[in-house]
């Protein structure tokens, strides 16, 4: 039997001047995805991929390093200069990630909070009758 060689497709480095930074801050982790205008993911980082494990993934310091690494990847690989920021979740890392993005590595165009909010309450329990 002959070994079949599979060709791997080479990743292309697209030049994207303006993109979007999606920050998902939960109680357990902070995940930052850098996308283009259409929403196609260019690069991403999380608290775990930045070197933190367990409860330290959700700290503000982990969110700061995660944002730093994600933007650095986007700047070097895709020449990104400006971003719109979309924040989802109520974790403690969201403020620090936004604060780090404002610090001047990229130009910040807008900040949107897209945290889902319920429009009604949970259904109440049926009244117990004896």
Angle between helices 60-78 and 94-102 (to 10 degrees): 40
Residue 23: name the closest of 105, 117, 102, 111 by CA. 111
What confidence score (pLDDT) does residue 40 get? Answer: 92
Residue 89: name the closest of 5, 41, 33 by CA. 33
The predicted-structure confidence for 82-91, as pLDDT tens digits, reads as follows 999 999 999 8
Which of 6-10, 25-29, 54-58, 123-127 bottoms out in mean pLDDT, i.e. has the lowest? 6-10
The predicted-structure confidence for 103-118, as pLDDT tens digits, reads as follows 877 889 999 999 988 8
Beta strands, E only, the chain:
18-25, 30-35, 41-46, 82-88, 107-113
* Residue 3 pLDDT class (50, 70, 90 cuts): low
* Residue 59 pLDDT class (50, 70, 90 cuts): very high
* Residue 7 pLDDT class (50, 70, 90 cuts): low
What structural domains and CATH numbers belong to the chain? 18-113 (3.30.420.80)
Q: For 21-29, what is the mean pLDDT?
A: 94
Q: For 31-36, what is the mean pLDDT?
A: 94
What confidence score (pLDDT) does residue 69 get? Answer: 92
Q: For 52-67, what is the mean pLDDT?
A: 91
Rounded to the nearest integer, the mean pLDDT of the chain is 87
């Amino acid at each position: 039997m002959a070994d079949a060689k599979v060709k791997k497709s080479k990743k292309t480095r697209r030049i994207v001047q303006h993109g979007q930074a999606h920050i998902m801050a939960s109680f357990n982790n902070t995940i930052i995805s850098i996308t283009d205008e259409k929403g196609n993911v260019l690069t991403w980082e999380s608290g775990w991929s930045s070197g933190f494990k367990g409860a330290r993934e959700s700290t503000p310091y982990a969110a700061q390093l995660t944002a730093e690494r994600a933007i650095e990847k986007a700047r070097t690989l895709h020449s990104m200069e400006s971003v719109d920021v979309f924040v989802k979740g109520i974790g403690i890392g969201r403020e620090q990630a936004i604060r780090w993005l404002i610090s001047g590595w990229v130009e910040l165009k807008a900040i949107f909070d897209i945290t889902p909010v319920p429009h009604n309450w949970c259904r109440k329990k049926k009244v117990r009758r004896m």
